[in-house]
Amino acid sequence: MDSGRNIICSGCRQRWVVKASNKSAAIVCPSCRINILEFPNEELQTNQQQQGLRSRIRNFGHHMKSKMHQGTIIPHNPSLNHESSHPNPPRSFKRAVLCGITYNNWKYKLKGTINDVRNMRELLITRFGYPRECIRVLTEEETDPRFIPTRKNIEDSLRWLVNDCRSGDSLMFFYSGHGLRQPDLNNDEDDGFDETICPVDFLTAGMILDDDLNSLIVRPLKPGVTLHAVVDACHSGTILDLSHVYFSRE
């Protein structure tokens, strides 16, 4: 089995796995498209070779920083949003809100949620034809404060998702993060609990309930509009508070 080799991009610092069978002398970062490292054509077998490679990595990193400082290379921008560069994008019948939260400053930090968002975004663009400027991404890595996954920003983005929806529209909501539940206060839950998702500021701003999500992105849907919701969180089976729930017998 080809387990691969771990490398870290000296430009954007993302970690990638390169197949051990890949004998290419040049490895290009899939994210920032910078030639990040040159591997020898033979597998490393001695400590001396490994030390030599580490030295080359350090030298390449210093070279990249120098080039960036001189303005000859544009630094990698972690933002995945193209909306800011299109203040008035043309209306599209395909729109998406993708939210991934790692809770960096919280005890129960998650790993991989931002990668989930990146992969989903790439899938929507390359496989399903969603315009880049019509995909709104919320992660803690975004530089625009409008796209930090706070409760207010998530709710505003969900309103944006369904605003002026029309028959034939295809809408997508993706969430990767923590999910909890709390006692049901309006007696509309069979199990006595409301399911929730947890914005990055939920300890102060509160959680977003299944009742809230239903009001934000289910009730406003016009006839003929399709909404796909993928929620990767605990207690998310009935997170949209839909009238019907499907249970597989398998």
Catalytic residue among 12, 76, 82, 234: 234
The boundaries of every CATH 3.40.50.12660 domain in the chain are: 83-232
83-232: which CATH architecture? 3-Layer(aba) Sandwich (3.40)
- Is 32 noted as a catalytic residue in this protein? no
158: left (phi over 0), alpha (psi -120 to 50) or beta: alpha
pLDDT of residue 198: 95
Examine the pLDDT at 212 and tell me if it is beyond 90.
yes
Confidence of residue 73 (pLDDT cuts 50, 70, 90): very low
The dihedrals phi and psi of 112, each to the nearest 5 degrees, come to 90, -5
Q: What is the dihedral of CA 182, 188, 189, 190, to 10 degrees?
A: 150
Question: At residue 177, does pLDDT exceed 80?
Answer: yes
Q: Which range among 69-73, 78-82, 98-102, 210-214 shows the weakest confidence by mean pLDDT?
A: 69-73
Q: What distance in Å separates the CA atoms of residue 218 and residue 243, rounded to the nearest whole number?
A: 11
Q: Are 96 and 169 in contact (CB under 8 A)?
A: no
Catalytic: which of 29, 178, 198, 235? 178
Provide the token pair at 133: 């400027």
Residue 29: active-site member: no
Residues with Cβ within 8 Å of 181's Cβ and at least 6 positions away in sequence, in order, are: 193, 194, 195, 196, 235
Other Cβ atoms closer than 10 A to 218: 16
Name the DSSP class of 192. S
Task: Please tell me the predicted confidence (pLDDT) of residue 34.
Answer: 47
Per-residue exposure over 223-242, b if at least 16 CB sit within 10 Å of its own CB, e if not:
eebebebebbbebbebbbbe
> pLDDT band for position 85 (50/70/90)?
low
Q: What residues pair up with 232 in beta bridges, in sequence order? A: 176
In this structure, what are the phi and psi dihedrals at residue 220, rounded to the nearest 5 degrees?
-75, -5
Confidence of residue 140 (pLDDT cuts 50, 70, 90): very high
pLDDT tens figures, 43-65: 334 455 455 545 554 554 555 44
Cα–Cα distance between 133 and 119 in angstroms, integer?
Answer: 16
Q: In terms of pTM, does the model score above 0.75? A: no
